[in-house]
Amino acid sequence: MSSPLKHLAARVLRPAAGLVGRISDPLRRVWAHARLASRIHGEVPDSVVILGVPEIHGTGKITLGEDLYLYRELYLETRDEGSIEIGADVVLSRGVHVASFAGVTIGAGAMIGEYASIRDASHRRVPGQAIRHSGHDSAPIKIGRNAWIGRAVIVLPGVTIGDGAVVGANAVVSHDVAEGALVAGVPARPIERRNAA
């Protein structure tokens, strides 16, 4: 299609595209809400905004708080005794992965950046056995209230991230993070906050 013809078609179709969006977006959200509710053991509060159906694996032991904002491409997995508990007002950005064999708790008001990975289990290494069949070692993860986890952060088993802590993008969190601390890097370490001049 030539550029002038393409431009004309876009101008003509713009009102129809807007109308279709206004009708289809709410229907997609209602469908995502219903699909999520059918896959987990807990309730999905009406105040939860779901932009795309999360991928759910395992037992479905998932508890959701009020007023969540759930972006597309989420992956939530619970196995064994694991559960995922998400407090009120949490934002899970696009592509976040949460996998629990022991327990993952995300406190109210926390924000989790795009493509973050929060996994409370690691594969065991058993000589002569394929990693896939060697089982897992797990330890609970706790993310505090109003914590901010940056894009592509990895949170490893057994970590507690304190209330109001900030984890910089692409960090690997292998140790506890104190309340209100700012950490970054691989492995994540505290960094000094500088006051604006």
Q: Write the single-letter amino acid at 82.
A: G
Burial zone of 186 (CB within 10 Å; 0-12 exposed, 13-18 middle, 19+ buried)? exposed
Alpha helices in the chain (DSSP H): 3-39
**Within 10 Å of residue 20's Cβ, how many Cβ atoms?**
11
Catalytic annotation present for 133: no
Sign for the CA dihedral angle at 53, 105, 61, 82 comes to: positive
Catalytic residue among 97, 123, 133, 136: 123
Residues 155/117, Cβ–Cβ less than 8 Å: yes
Rounded Cα distance, 2 and 20, in Å? 25
Catalytic residues: 123
